[in-house]
Structure 1
Amino acid sequence: MPAIVSVTSDQLNLWLLAFLWPFVRMLALISTAPLFSERAVPRSAKVGLAALLAIVVSPTLGAMPAVPLMSVGGLWIMVQQVLIGAAIGFSMRLVFAMVQAAGEYVGLQMGLSFASFFDPTSGGNTMVLARLLNVIAILLFLAVDGHLMLIMVLVQSFQVLPVSDAPLAAGGWFLLASAGGHVISDGLMLALPLIAILLTLNLAMGILNRVSPQFSIFAVGFPITLLAGMAMLQLLMQYLGPFLEPRFAATFTSILEFLGALRS
């Protein structure tokens, strides 16, 4: 006679919590992290990937807090997981925002500020050059297995900051906010060689226009600036990988530091 397997409601609740809370953190990261959050990726694929990761990772996380799901404490834990997952994805997106900022700086100096189109990722108009650099950064991210490292950091986040009903410390959010300051500085550092060359070229053409007033600066200046910018951009491409790889690694390390600072 076959044995009858009985499952109580408490066991079902524990199994549901063991899956749901990690799933919420993973889904929040996939919805905000670069590459995973692209609108070209179907929503069903995002939800399916988060569910698959939760099924694989949940058995290794140990016991979850004994808090009912349909309660104030359960809602608070779910909100925390959303904030943690979104913060991890936002931290990784800062690197790509830096590359996009560099494209904006260079495009403005090259006279390409009018060359923009609607970017579904950002939800607004983006310069073509900024979008190009962003696509190259995503390809480099894939080439160095950054997407796999991001998933690894997500799994490690449950050891650094386990699921609990304890409040999150304010020091961690301060670290995340301070990391946003590197977007402008690093983006300017990446674009600085091109900006310096283009400013020097504009200064030379301005002096030439003063020396020779019949020289049509508006007719000749734009093609020269555009060609010089394209030539310098081609030279910059070979240094883009060595510039971004250390920043990818530093971002993964800073994410773990940020999660550690969130522990109260």
Structure 2
Amino acid sequence: MPPVFSVTADQLNVWLVAFFWPFVRMLSLVGTAPLFSEKAVSRTIKVSVAGLMAIAIAPTLGPLPQVPLVSAAGLWIVVQQVLIGAAMGFSMKLVFAMVQAAGEYTGLQMGLSFASFFDPTSGGNTMVLARFLNVMAMLVFLAVDGHLVLIATLAESFQILPIADAPLAASGWFLLVSAGGQVFLGGLILALPLIATLLTLNLAMGILNRVSPQFSIFAVGFPITLLAGIAMLQLLMQYLAPFLEPRFAASFTSMLEILQGLRP
């Protein structure tokens, strides 16, 4: 009796590479992209999300390289997919790094440098204000459907930069590095109103201390600075979403430019 269902080694290799290589790129993106890469999201959920997306997108892919999965060329393609996914995730995470830098600048000016805690995401100590602004940025990211645009961009990446065994171009990495230089500039722009207000307040208290030495400026300086910083932070919150929304759009555009730059 002939076998009901038989699979050759070549057919099995075609099925495996059609799922595995897209899965590697998606898992690399999920492991580095904002929101998905949070420690609160378990590894099981990350792998499941990447696997479901790979199953959904595998039938839409064009012809894949005729390379055995377990070979030097197959390993090279896996490394390429890891690098592509990580580049996409890091380019998106730069906006959140900018917000966190703004929180660090503001926290130092408010005298909250001691108010820090262990952040499992970064593996180090993070100021409370920086973490607060990072959470607000995540809420804005969800409100503007950033997670859906990110998934759509990931699907589009297979059309812009299909899976191939050709080496990646170097111009895409230069674009990623140049985008990273905007982190400190954007964080400074976001925190500039608070920094300017607190510097002016500290200058006024310094002049007051020189004019009236008997006035204990150190006793009231910290509460005044803290209250002024909280008041300015409250004013900043209403402008946070309009500030971040074009940055998120620009980061998706930058992600597509990086993919174009990586094309061999």
Q: TM-score, structure 2 length as denominator? A: 0.98
User: Which residue number corresponds to residue 99 of structure 2?
Assistant: 99
Q: CA deviation at 1:6?
A: 3.2
Task: Letter of the 2:116 partner, please give it.
Answer: S
1:177-202 CA-to-partner distances (Å, cap 9, x unmatched) read: 11110000000000000000000000
CA distance in 2: counterparts of 1:224 and 1:39, whole angstroms: 36
Identify the residue that residue 112 of structure 1 maps to in structure 2: 112
Q: Determine the C-alpha separation between the residues in 2 that align with 1:90 and 1:163.
A: 20
How many angstroms apart in 2 are the aligned matches of 1:60 and 1:216? 71
Aligned to 1:221: 221
Residue 132 (1) aligns with residue 132 (2)? yes
Match of 2:192 in 1: 192
Q: CA deviation at 1:2?
A: 10
1:76-130 deviation digits (Å, cap 9, x = unpaired): 0000000000111111110000000000000000000000000011110000000
Q: CA shift at 1:215, angstroms?
A: 1.0
Deviations 1:31-56 (A, max 9, x none): 11111011111111110110000000
Shift, 1:145, TM fit = 0.8
Shift of 1:9: 1.3
Identity %: 78
Distance 1:136 1:7 in 2: 51
Determine the C-alpha separation between the residues in 1 that align with 2:201 and 2:185: 23
What letter corresponds to residue 140 of structure 1 in structure 2?
V
Tell me which residue corresponds to 1:169.
169
Tell me the CA shift for residue 4 of structure 1. Answer: 3.6
Question: Secondary structure of the residue that 1:126 maps to in structure 2?
Answer: strand
Quote the Cα distance in structure 2 between the aligned partners of 1:37 and 1:222: 36
Amino acid at match of 1:173: W
1:204 and 2:191 are equivalent in the alignment: no
Partner of 2:144: 144
- How do residues 1-264 of structure 1 correspond to structure 2 at under 5 angstroms? 4-264=4-264
Moved over 6 A (4+): none
Q: Distance in 1 between matches of 2:186 and 2:238?
A: 17
State whether residues 161 and 262 of structure 1, in contact with CA within 8 Å, keep that contact through their aligned partners in structure 2. Answer: yes
* Counterpart AA for 1:12: L
Aligned counterparts of 2:73 and 2:30: Cα–Cα separation in 1? 24
Q: Distance in 2 between matches of 1:2 and 1:16?
A: 25
Q: 2:239 is paired with a residue of what secondary structure?
A: helix
Within 2, Cα distance between the matches of 1:96 and 1:133?
A: 9
Provide the C-alpha distance between the structure 2 equivalents of 1:217 and 1:128, rounded to a whole number of angstroms: 26
- For residue 7 of structure 1, report the CA deviation from its aligned partner: 2.4
Mapped contact 1:18–1:63 kept (Cα < 8 A): no
CA contact (8 A) 1:27 1:50 kept: yes
How far residue 3 of structure 1 moved from its aligned partner, in angstroms, is 9.0
Unaligned runs of 5+ in 1: none
CA distance in 2, matches of 1:97, 1:145: 19
| CA–CA separation in structure 2 for the residues paired with 1:38 and 1:233 | 25
Distance 1:38 1:194 in 2: 28
Distance 1:94 1:248 in 2: 10
Unaligned runs of 5+ in 2: none
How many residues matched? 264
1:208-252 deviations in Å (ceiling 9; x for gaps)? 111101111110111110000000000000000000000000100
Separation in 1, partners of 2:77, 2:2? 40
Normalised to the residue count of structure 1, the TM-score between the two structures is: 0.98
RMSD over aligned Cα, in angstroms? 1.2
